[in-house]
A and B are shown apart, each in its own frame.
Chain A
């Protein structure tokens, strides 16, 4: 069975500090996808990034960067120079990649990030 663990329940940092959100996953699949979603107070899940299991290249998008390490089954998310608007709950998720299968997402329990002005 697939499992996603986000050990950090809550994190608070002062604005402009960097912060890293951890995600560890378990799967028996050899091919899979990893995702990060942001859930602001309004409640809507906002897609941030997806990663294929066969592509371990790290990615940077503006102040956001993601570090995928297959050897440790981790897919960590770093926000650089945090801003108050980054305050939200962040979810890491995993889905299988086999064609034809249901690609339902297995989510972690989320990390609540609070940026203090």
Chain B
């Protein structure tokens, strides 16, 4: 089984620029989650998709953040007008709907540094 993949693994950008991250879930996993992890903290939930529908967004997800999952497969997370406070690791996870425990399997993450 191929695991969750994320691209890029690292991104350095200047404040004010837009960035986009991609997540490819485990095939046949129809649930996809985005989390953000800052240094020394546990991951925090950002948003959740079931197939192509975005069903929940955290209050952490400001208007500058947008996520899509157009065909229910891969997902993108875009941050517009980046700020230094956006520097973090962005983690993607996927799970299978028929798994009632909804165990989430994580990708390697995209580390964002905003200068």
A-B residue pair count with CB separations less than 8 angstroms? 60
Point out the residue from B35, B55, B103, B106 that lies within 8 Å of A44, measured CB to CB.
B106
Determine the distance from Cα of A33 to Cα of B104 in the docked complex, in whole angstroms: 12
**B71 located at the interface, meaning its Cβ lies under 8 Å from any Cβ of chain A in the complex:** no
Shortest Cβ distance from B19 into chain A, in angstroms? 18
Residues of chain B with a CB closer than 8 A to A95's CB: 102
Task: Report if A104-B33 is in contact (Cβ < 8 Å); known contacts: A45-B43, A109-B40, A110-B42.
Answer: yes
- A61 neighbours in B (Cβ, 8 Å): none
**How distant is B77 from chain A, measured CB to nearest CB, in Å?**
15
Say whether A35 contacts B106, CB under 8 Å.
no
B38 → chain A closest CB, angstroms: 11
Residue numbers of B with Cβ under 8 A of A are 31, 33, 35, 40-45, 48, 55-56, 89, 91, 93, 95, 100-109, 111
**B-chain residues with CB within 8 Å of residue A4 when the two chains form the complex:** 42
Across the two chains, which residue of chain B brings its CB closest to A42?
B108
Interface residue tally of chain A, by bracket?
Answer: 20 to 34
CA distance A95 to B48 in the complex (A): 14
- The distance from the CB of A5 to the nearest CB of chain B, in whole angstroms, is 11
Determine the distance from Cα of A101 to Cα of B33 in the docked complex, in whole angstroms. Answer: 13
Nearest opposing residue in chain A for B3, CB measure: A44
Beta-carbon nearest neighbor of B102 in chain A? A103
A47 pairs with B105, CB closer than 8 A? yes
| CB of A42 to closest CB in B, whole Å | 7
Task: Identify A105's interface contact among B43, B56, B89, CB under 8 A.
Answer: B43
Indicate whether A62 reaches chain B with its CB closer than 8 angstroms. Answer: no
Query: Does residue A43 face the partner (Cβ distance < 8 Å to B)?
Result: yes
